[in-house]
Structure 1
Amino acid sequence: MILGVLKEASTENRVSLVPAIVQQLVQSKVTVWVEKGAGSNAWLPDEAYEQAGAVIQNRETILQQATVLLCIQPLSEQESGNLNPSTVLLGVYQPLFQTAKMKQWAQRQLTVFSLDNIPRTTRAQSMDVLSSQANIAGYKAILLAANSYSRYFPMFMTAAGSIAPAKVLILGAGVAGLQAIATARRLGAVVEVFDTRPAVKEEVMSLGAKFVDVEGAADASSAGGYAVEQTADYQAKQAAAIGEAAKKADIIITTAQIPGKKAPILITREMMDMMKPGSLIVDIAAATGGNTDISKDQQTVTYKGVTVIGDSNLPSKMPADASKLYAKNVLNFLQLIIDKEGQLSLNFEDDIVQGACIAKGGQIVNERLLQAITAAV
């Protein structure tokens, strides 16, 4: 079996495997081909991969001959159209938002695994790319905010006067939100947090932040660790509470996303009308529509003195550590589909393998994606 590691597009600095993981795979009898320069943006030279036992190969050869192709972001339509039908693709493809592409790949007989679709169970934690990368996103979001904000984060008492600490509002206390809380607190900010899940209140408070309760949230306990849509009554209560908190906030970090649906608007223009001039919003959910009315992914926009930074790929801005964590997730998943002889062995009786599989045998096979397709008809 040949495992091919591709260089990502110019907007993505991470790489699917790091040399330490390549070495483990080679020791497990897997042949690893790495595209020339694949790790360069993550400070991983070709020589490091060669020392780990990989073969540095050109892109065309890898695309045509690799059994399994590792690419974090989806391939172009032209490249995916030229792949052998037996090829296995493995990456983070947002299948619930890339429905047309998933259908095309299925029609081309490709076998597709998307690691962002792995069941969020205890056994799958070591393969949970959403969590490993969200942790980085939450950390980087605060650092980006601190760097872009025109004032201090911590309180300062000087002979020239006192500076009050920054007030940070974080919407969503998932992995990204919790890391954002911890990082903002380390920098000395005062932090308030909203989340639709009352169960996270204890975690929020343990990090030194204030949890703002809004009664009447829909039960998310059966959603497999994902957020769920809320009732109109709850959304109205939530909007009122967030609006009041936004007035006082210097910085807002928004992280709220619902799988397969547009990100909920949590900060409206009306709320931004009431925010302080010079305040800042970092929207991690920008790729799925954003949590504000004006968010645009990979862009910074200004509305009446409020700066909105949209960036859903913050892990790419810390490519060395992000690649290291992602590669470990990939290795743990590969161990489920590679046998002791280093050969591909797809066991669809395994709930993790089945859950991550989007397409095989010319068909879309993922239940969540099929439900989304049916609902859209």
Structure 2
Amino acid sequence: MHIGVPRETAAGETRVAVTPETAKKLQAQGHTIRIESGAGVTASAPDAAYAAVGAEITDAAGAASCDLVLRVRAPSEAELTLMKPGSTVVGMLNPFDREGLERIAAAGLTGFALEAAPRTTRAQSMDVLSSQANIAGYKAIILAADRYQKFFPMLMTAAGTVKAARVVILGVGVAGLQAIATAKRLGAVIEASDVRPSVKEQVESLGAKFIDVPYETQEEKDAAVGVGGYARPMPPSWLARQKVEVAKRVAQADIVVSTALIPGRPAPTLVTAEMVASMKPGSVIIDLAAGRGPDMNGGMTGGNCPLTEAGATVVRHGVTIVGETNLPALVAADASALYARNVLDFLKLVLTKEGTLTVNMDDDIVAACLMTQGGTVKKAA
């Protein structure tokens, strides 16, 4: 099969869907790989690295017109015109973008959205959300260390003792856990909060303190269990108590990293404007939900903090708020390496040994990821 890998054109997107490592493996399976010139440059993979493993270097049309097209982000309207009806596109197509999926369907493409894979043991090796969130959690702490004008670890020097930075992590999924681990390596004192009681043990195993908010009703306990690896919206009664506890920790924090997302809904507000005003001058907030919060700031989309501005770094009440919307793209080489391996493992489910595409709807992963086929949207969240 001819497999195309176009260069990503979305603003700020530096990742690539196939690396020289995975291109070599696909070539060994008998496929022809066509890489758009420059597709991997921003991920430290020059054209020469692809050519060295036997991939063909081509232009945008040559990559997009293949039978199977592998991408990081969904194709734009202009890119869809380069793709031929009946071909297949695999990437992070955003299952919640109904309009985008309808455009892909109208172009006659079979579309697989990798974010829709079930969060099961069998699907772990192709879980793009986890692989990229892991990188985002790491990079969040590195950005915080860069913006924070003090040390992270406690230091005892001849000029006096420097206290360790106090870090608060809000939301302890994959990104939150990696943020805890990275901050711990840098010597910070860490506290973390999450609605799911099951993560307390993981938080403490990484050396952080869990901000415990007791559950008073069965409704609160049921909501806290979550679904599919994500938290569910919590009852107002519990949220009110959590807000009080979190506000105390945020006021004392030097660094706050917020990671809370609920699929298909605006990100919840965890750090209010009042909390930001209570923080010490020079503190830093890294909002991993930037761009996915309620509409705030005169039409700009915030995140877990209403003062966040998507794609920008701002200072409010003396606190630096970082609103980067694509942290994995800031670690493009490793982010691409992990993503490309996720893609490679998914392809094992849809490519036969003969090199043809098959859509096995009896496979729960394939069925979950299939978004468009035969000119229609098969599924949209």
Could you state the TM-score of these two structures normalised by the residue count of structure 2?
0.93
Aligned position for 2:179? 180
Question: CA 1:222–1:292 in 2, change beyond 3 Å: closer, same or farther?
Answer: closer
- Counterparts of 1:149-168 in structure 2 under 5 Å? 149-168=148-167
Q: Which whole-Å CA distance do the structure 2 matches of 1:110 and 1:362 have between them?
A: 7
Q: Unpaired runs of 5+ in structure 1?
A: 373-377
- Counterparts of 1:119-268 in structure 2 under 5 Å? 119-216=118-215, 217=220, 218-219=222-223, 221=225, 223-268=227-272
Sequence identity (%): 48
Aligned 8 A contact 1:30 1:343 in 2:
no
Aligned position for 2:78? 78
Aligned position for 1:274? 278
Q: Unpaired runs of 5+ in structure 2?
A: 294-302
Q: 1:297 aligned to 2:310?
A: yes
Give the secondary-structure state (helix, strand or coil) at the position aligned to 1:72: strand
Q: Which whole-Å CA distance do the structure 1 matches of 2:223 and 2:235 have between them?
A: 11
- Which piece of structure 1 moves more, 354-363 or 16-25? 354-363
Aligned 8 A contact 2:226 2:232 in 1:
no
Q: Which whole-Å CA distance do the structure 1 matches of 2:59 and 2:224 have between them?
A: 46
Q: 1:156 offset after TM fit, Å?
A: 1.1
Aligned 8 A contact 2:4 2:62 in 1:
no
The CA deviation string for residues 164-204 of structure 1, in whole angstroms up to 9 with x for no partner, is: 11000000111110010011011110000001110010010
Letter in 1 for 2:59: N
Aligned 8 A contact 1:168 1:189 in 2:
yes
**Aligned length, in residue pairs:** 366
Q: 1:348 aligned to 2:365?
A: no
- Counterparts of 1:7-156 in structure 2 under 5 Å? 7-9=7-9, 10-63=11-64, 65-96=65-96, 98-156=97-155
Give the secondary-structure state (helix, strand or coil) at the position aligned to 1:318: helix
Q: 1:59 offset after TM fit, Å?
A: 0.6
Aligned 8 A contact 1:194 1:211 in 2:
yes
Q: Which whole-Å CA distance do the structure 2 matches of 1:309 and 1:109 have between them?
A: 40
The CA deviation string for residues 145-166 of structure 1, in whole angstroms up to 9 with x for no partner, is: 0011011111111221111110
2:371 to 352, 358, 361: 358
Q: CA RMSD in A?
A: 1.4
Q: 1:322 aligned to 2:326?
A: no
The CA deviation string for residues 334-370 of structure 1, in whole angstroms up to 9 with x for no partner, is: 011100012212212211011111111222222xx2x
Aligned position for 2:298? none
Aligned position for 1:337? 350
- Which piece of structure 1 moves more, 85-94 or 313-322? 85-94
Question: CA 1:220–1:69 in 2, change beyond 3 Å: closer, same or farther?
Answer: farther
Give the secondary-structure state (helix, strand or coil) at the position aligned to 1:179: helix
Letter in 2 for 1:133: Q
Give the secondary-structure state (helix, strand or coil) at the position aligned to 1:288: coil
Runs (4+) off by over 3 Å: 217-222
Letter in 1 for 2:255: I
Q: Which whole-Å CA distance do the structure 2 matches of 1:231 and 1:81 have between them?
A: 46
Q: Which whole-Å CA distance do the structure 1 matches of 2:58 and 2:361 have between them?
A: 31
Question: CA 1:220–1:122 in 2, change beyond 3 Å: closer, same or farther?
Answer: farther
Q: 1:81 offset after TM fit, Å?
A: 4.1
Q: 1:78 offset after TM fit, Å?
A: 2.2
Aligned 8 A contact 1:246 1:271 in 2:
yes
Q: Which whole-Å CA distance do the structure 2 matches of 1:220 and 1:279 have between them?
A: 30
Give the secondary-structure state (helix, strand or coil) at the position aligned to 2:355: coil
